[in-house]
Structure 1
Amino acid sequence: MERDFLTIALPKGKLLVDSIQLLSRIGIECSHVNEESRKLFYNLPDSKIKIIICRATDIPTFVEYGAADLGIVGKDTLLEENKDVAELLDLRFGFCRFVVAMPEASVPPKLSNGEYDLSGLNHQRVATKFPRVAETYFSGLGMQVSPIKLHGNIELAPCVDLAEMIVDIVSTGKTLRENHLVEVAPILEATSRLIANRVAYRMKYERIRDLVERLREEIQADVSAK
């Protein structure tokens, strides 16, 4: 029956490979799922699972509206999209950090505790793909900023005076250094998460909980092995 199937939304891009590997390790054979085929829908009858491939930023929407029962998405996207979904599990891959960064020539002075004094950034412009995250962070500091949403090349914004600073995700910080930007404040760390549609979680509770526990055990075994 259709209700016996779980539909899982997986992200295009670099998270897809890790997602497929993790699902395969718990017995869901999906090694043939890939972006190169341009196929966006896969039926896995042996596992009673359907997989759909989406843009990462769309996955919370697919899950919220029930087009997918489950989804794998980065915490960064989850925070920015702010959809009404249930976050079930930290999958421990796709690690990145949210940071505030500024040009080397305009970094603020440091306080006695070694942190940068961000008070001078009040009411300044911040270029970012994540305006919600940026506003929430500065609001927590009692500050207001003017987010300028960009879809790429965030590091360029301070160089051409579009913004005084950026909020972006980094892995190694190499791109910041190459563009003469300095990290002046960490915001938070993000990894990939398993999310669920709230109605599906109630209606398909046993199936979803079984999947979650198998994933949890596999992740824990991997962590223990390291």
Structure 2
Amino acid sequence: MSIVLALPKGRILKEAGPLLARAGLVPEPEYTDENSRKLRFHTSRPDVDLIRVRSFDVATFVAFGAAEIGICGSDVLMEFDYPEVYAPLDLGIGECRISVAEPKDDAGQTDLSRVSAIRVASKYPNTARRHFARRGIQTEMVELSGAMELAPGLGLSRIIVDLVQTGSTLKANGLVETDVIAQISSKLIVNRVALKTRPDEIGAWIEAFQKALAA
């Protein structure tokens, strides 16, 4: 029975390449073809296949047992908080932060200590709610899957919560960071049931990635 490793499309997929190689996994050539519509790939190991999915879906595939192992941003783990997912390793790739941002001209003009409710645009509704709830603020969430930076200028919300790497997209759209909720990096994640039922196999891959990190 093969092991399925779920990987996110985009930047993390590229950053994970050298780590996979050091762990002893070389994907078939089509894996690196961004124009390929194929989503499941063989590797140099006949007992391991890779699947390439949306970053937000990696944790879901692992939580429900469709994949035994995955590489997933800690932002996704924060948002979904699946009890079925165990994250034994920080891989040190995909580093960024999840932040609160608002229009540059209005930044700092709202005293959040005096606000009881606020509208926030984000693809991280649970993370945003928890963040503001800790400050005693209720949130009306506007859930978007992208282009968060447009929300303030078009009146959807004045505040957004989103991933920030360099801040250049915020700056280009007249926004500034006003708070950092958490520093983000990618984790190796495993399905807890798979770890219990196939401890030798899953444990061996955790160890392989540990050695790859140390290499």
User: Structure 1 length as normaliser, TM-score?
Assistant: 0.86
Take 1:66 and 1:38, find their aligned partners in 2: how far apart are those partners?
23
Change (3 A) 1:185 1:200: same
CA–CA distance in structure 1, aligned partners of residues 111 and 211 of structure 2: 43
2:112 corresponds in structure 1 to 118
Counterparts of 1:125 and 1:184, CA distance in 2: 15
Mapped partners of 1:213, 1:120: distance in 2: 50
Match of 2:197, as an amino acid? Answer: M
Corresponding residue number in structure 2 for 1:113:
none
Q: Percent identity?
A: 39
Mapped partners of 1:25, 1:157: distance in 2: 42
1:210 partner amino acid: A
Q: Name the structure 1 match of 2:164.
A: 170
Distance (whole Å) between structure 2 residues aligned to residue 173 and residue 193 of structure 1: 23
Alignment of 1:3-18 (within 5 A): 5-18=2-15
CA RMSD of aligned residues (A): 1.8
After alignment, is 26-35 or 95-104 more displaced? 26-35
Contact in 1 for aligned 2:23/2:211 (Cα 8 Å): no
SS of structure 1 residue aligned to 2:182: strand
1:99 aligns with 2:99: yes
In structure 2, C-alpha distance between the alignment counterparts of 1:53 and 1:30, rounded to whole Å: 11
Kindly report which structure 2 residues correspond to 1:128-207, keeping only aligned pairs within 5 A, or say none: 128-207=122-201
Between the aligned partners of 1:203 and 1:181, the Cα distance in structure 2 is 48
Residue in 2 that maps onto 1:108? 108
- Contact preservation (8 Å) 1:57, 1:81: no
Question: Displacement, 1:171?
Answer: 0.4
Matched-pair contact (CA < 8 Å) for 1:24–1:31: no
The whole-number CA distance in structure 1 between the counterparts of 2:134 and 2:28 is 43
Aligned-residue offset at 1:21:
2.3
Deviation sequence 1:59-80 (CA, Å, 0-9, x none): 1111111111011111111222
Report if the CA contact (8 A) 1:7-1:70 is conserved. yes
Partner of 2:59: 60
Cα pair 2:27 2:44 within 8 Å, conserved? no
2:48 counterpart residue number: 49
1:20 and 1:31 in contact (8 A); partners too = no
Q: Point out where structure 1 has 5 or more consecutive residues left out of the alignment.
A: 110-115, 222-226
Q: Which moved more, 1:118-127 or 1:186-195?
A: 118-127
